[in-house]
Amino acid sequence: MSFLLILTTFLVATSAQTEADALLKWKKSLYQSAALASWSTRNSTSHCSWFGITCDPAGNVVQISVQSSSINGTLDSLNFSSFSNLVSLNLSDNILQGSIPSGISNLSKLNSLDLGTNSFGNFVPPEIGDLSELVYLSLFNNNLVGPVPSQLSRLSKVRHFDLGHNHLNNTEYSNFSAMPSVLYLSLFLNNLTGFFPQFILKCTNLTYLHLSQNAFFGPIPASLANLSRLRELHLGTNNFIGGIPSVLSLISGLRVLELGDNSLGGPLPSSLSQLKFLERLDVTNARINSTIPPELGVCTNLNYIHLASNQLSGPLPFTFVNLTKMRLFDINSNNLSGEIPGHLPDSLSQLPNLYYFSVFTNNLTGTIPPDFGRNGMLQHVDLSYNSFFVPTGKAFKDDSPHAYVGNPGLCGDFQGLISCYAANKNSHSHHKILILVFLLIAGVVLLLAIILAILVFSRKKRVEKIEIERANKDVTNSIWERDGKFSFSDIVNATDNFNEVFCIGQGEFGSVYKAELSVGQVIAVKRIQAQDAEDVQDINKKSFENEIRALTEVRHRNIVKLHGFCLSGDYMYLVYEYLEKGSFSDVLYGSQGERELDWAMRVKVIRGIAHALAYLHHDCTPPIVHRDIKLNNILLDSEFEPRLSDFGTAKLLGLGSTSWISMAGTYGYMAPELAYTMQFTEKCDVYSFGVVALEIMMGQHPGDLLSSLPSVSSSLENDLLLKDVLDQRLTPPPPPPPDNWLKKWFFYSR
């Protein structure tokens, strides 16, 4: 019995050593990678503690997960036969090249293979079809070519099948009919041709289907309705014809329907109104030639409608006012006529989430609703090339002429437009007035030229004086809040002309005052010095402009609200909502840090700032980079809900998603790469957010911790424990319940 135990122990140790040697040999063939620093012969007997390596209780490697680690090289020297117990291999989002080795078929127990977003070339190895236990397969976004091997049809257990964004060509799909269990299927952006693949119609458990940007042709099969579990259907940018099958409405759980950039023709079926859960409808440039069915107004979950570049005609259905979740509405370049629904209690102007509204190049008429665009979210409006009248008063936040050009009956109180009063006059009388005005101007132009030549030097000073007086007058009479609740004079009275008694803070760019207005509203006012040394003045002005440019474009619960701004005399003013708790830095390092900031409250603050940054980086166009994420720029309301503030150094990214800058931000929070690349992206904010998150959980700035961790291996030698770095003023949070990583993976992959 003892002999068997010794033999078993020897075999396990030998297997572990073989696995460690195989990993070290592969690492040696790669270009230098900091992520694999812990893979070292010094601790080869404990390879289970290496980065990205997970072992079972017997010491066998069961998971290799080193995604997003900039690993550069090939898989040629990785001996797959050494990992007989491996169940998960994830090398996605790296720089791996060459071919996918056929030896990968030796991983007989593998159930998850993710090699997506690399630079693998050549063909898809047919040996992958021998991985009979495979449930998750992703080769997305590589440079793979050739047909899809028919051997992959043997993967009867696969549920996630993603070969998208490669250079594969047409293949024989009939071989794949043995894959009914697949839930996620993506052949997106390949060179696939032919009719709609019939094997897909047998995948009855399918929930996600993405065949966009290929060259499929022929009709969309009506039997797609049999895929009753389908949630997303992407068939855009192909050559499908024959109209939109009305039976698609039988897929009751469908949330995304994307059929744009095809040659479908025919009507937009009214039966789509049966898709109660539909959130996104994209049929742009599909040669649809009907009216917009008013029945779509019952799909109250719709938040994205893109019907541009078709032959749609008739009026815009009034039932669309029921789509209160609508965020984007684009029906440009059609033949729609009639008026935009308005002047009624439930008008388009009351869609609370609408931020993009484009109807240019149609035949729409009538007067634009005067309250349209006052919902606080609308960022883009394009009404050009129709037959609109614009009402008097300011109806939109962006009143630039390009949004209204091409409307022959256009009038309104906008710069460059004729007033609606003048537009209603008799055209003959109008011409006579114009001739008279022209003659009067011609008669005095010579006299004006002489006067202007004499007064050329004094005119400049007079203009400057007039502009200053006009600016002061505009400040006094300007309405700060959109609904006219208060003016600048109310702020002056509330702060006793900015008496220091009302000052609640001072920063690099100015002082902040608390103002309790007579209407009962409490606000915070930042006053910035406008007249100073030339270099300081330029910095202050740039900060003032950045703050306005950023905060007038954003609307988010975790970003401080800007009520108004102006320039008066020697100062520039910015007016914000007042946050009762003030700076998070003062709260964390004050007495409240121990008394009120428990772990749940700190996680709440971190989550709120994460949501704000996700909004700035992904929901704003162009994206906004804050560049100075730190505790002092996080404010708290009475419920400890965070607000990100101080956008004085913020930048708007262009199409390239990067920019070259001078140094900005706060040392200790800036990403290290800025010191030598001077190039900023959204990742700079993400690094600063990581420092802030650590500081909140530690109760102190993590600078010492970061400088003491030069490598993963050294941190292991120092026996650094989580409980030692958490804020010692609080009781450590309880550990999470034990969990099986494989069960968790299956849960999230369903």
**Which of 536, 524, 537 lies closest to 574 in space, CA to CA?**
524
Alpha-helix residue ranges (DSSP H) falling in 488-576: 488-494, 534-551
CB atoms within 10 A of CB 601: 15
- 535 as an active site residue: the answer is no
599-614 vs 682-698: helix axis angle to the nearest 10?
Answer: 170
Beta bridge partners of 680: 659
Torsion angle of C-alpha atoms 134, 138, 142, 146, degrees rounded to 10 = 50
CB 130 within 8 A of CB 106: no
**Chain centroid, CA 652 distance in Å:** 14
Could you tell me the sign of the dihedral formed by the alpha carbons of 416, 419, 422, 424, in that order? positive
- Report the C-alpha gap between 487 and 44 in whole angstroms: 71
How many Å apart are CA 328 and CA 631, to the nearest integer? 35
Give the whole-angstrom CA distance, residue 383 versus residue 608: 36
Element (H or E) spanning 712, and its range?
A: helix 712-717
Q: What is the DSSP string of 533-546?
A: -HHHHHHHHHHHHH
Taking CA atoms, 61 is separated from 56, 84, 258, 399, 563, in Å, by 7, 9, 42, 63, 58
Strands 208-210 and 335-339: unpaired
- Please give the radius of gyration of the chain, using alpha carbons only, rounded to the nearest integer: 32
Q: Would the annotation count 723 as a binding residue?
A: no
3-state helix, strand, coil split of the chain in percent (to 5) is: 35, 20, 45
Tokens (6 digits) for 434: 């114009």
Q: What is the DSSP string of 364-416?
A: EEEEPPTTTT-SS---EEE--SSEEEPPSS---S---GGGTTT-TT--SSSTT
What strands, in cross-sheet order, belong to the sheet with 193-194? Answer: 193-194, 215-219, 239-241
Evaluate whether 208 touches 184 at the Cβ level (below 8 Å). yes
Residue 244 is which amino acid? Answer: I
Q: What secondary structure does DSSP assign to 41-100, as a single string?
A: GGGGGGGGGSTTEEE-TTS-EEEEE--SS--EE-STT--GGG-TT--EEE--SSEE-SPP
Catalytic residue among 93, 382, 628, 646: 628
Structure tokens at 127: 């040996």
CA distance 575 to 714: 49
Catalytic residue annotation: 628
Annotated binding site: which residue ranges?
Answer: 526
Annotated binding site for ATP: which residue ranges?
Answer: 526
